[in-house]
């Protein structure tokens, strides 16, 4: 719901689309076209079905199965551009020893997302890795923006909803974050 107002009349790239919740909201908000990318064929089929069930099945939308990093590189190399890019990857860090690799992964995926954005486009990017703090995630995004030579502004900070409460005794439960 938070991203939907940004989608009207925009070409949307929805990466790690899973069953297409972002695609449903984008299409309902009047996105010009939605491109969904996921590694799972079954998830993409479910996403298409969710669009159909919501009366949003459209010829202009596309569904691409493949490794997100490889697909995004291919789209970039083809010269494709989008007005809005959604990056909602699965958890990249399951333990402290994976934080360095996870931050590299977040930087890489966000660099690719920024390279696929039209000037003035909107990047909606998320992390669900509890070991990656909001501050660290923002620093990763800053590094990605510097490396691709893009000026990036934060329009909104996004966090988990009230259905994911955070106990004061367990601050790591605040694992969902987005910009």
Q: Catalytic site residue 128?
A: yes
Structure tokens, 66: 């493949």
**Nearest CA to 129 among 168, 89, 165?**
89
68: which 2 tokens?
Answer: 């997100």
* Catalytic site residue from 45, 46, 64, 128: 128
Assess contact for 177 and 159: CB atoms under 8 A. Answer: yes
Q: How many CB atoms within 10 Å of residue 156?
A: 10
What is the DSSP secondary-structure string of 96-158? GGGHHHHHHHHHHHHHHHHHTEEEEEEEEEEE--TTS-HHHHHHHHHHHHHHHT--------E
Q: Indicate the SS3 state at residue 62.
A: strand
Euclidean distance between CA atoms 4 and 30, whole angstroms: 9
Phi, psi of 76 (to 5 degrees): -60, -45
Query: What residues are annotated to the active site?
Result: 128
């Amino acid at each position: 719901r938070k991203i939907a107002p940004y989608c009207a009349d925009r070409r949307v790239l929805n990466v790690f689309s899973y069953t297409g919740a972002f695609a449903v909201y984008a299409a309902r908000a009047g996105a010009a076209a939605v491109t969904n990318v996921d590694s799972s064929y079954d998830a993409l089929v479910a996403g298409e079905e969710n669009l159909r069930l919501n009366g949003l099945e459209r010829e202009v939308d596309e569904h691409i199965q493949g490794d997100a990093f490889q697909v995004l590189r291919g789209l970039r190399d083809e010269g494709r551009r989008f007005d809005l890019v959604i990056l909602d990857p699965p958890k990249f860090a399951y333990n402290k020893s994976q934080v360095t690799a996870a931050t590299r992964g977040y930087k890489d995926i966000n660099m690719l997302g920024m390279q696929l954005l039209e000037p003035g486009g909107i990047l909606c990017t998320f992390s669900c890795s509890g070991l990656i703090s909001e501050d660290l995630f923002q620093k990763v995004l800053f590094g990605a923006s510097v490396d691709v030579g893009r000026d990036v502004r934060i329009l909104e900070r996004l966090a988990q909803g009230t259905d994911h409460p955070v106990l004061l005794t367990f601050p790591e439960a605040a694992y969902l974050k987005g910009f």
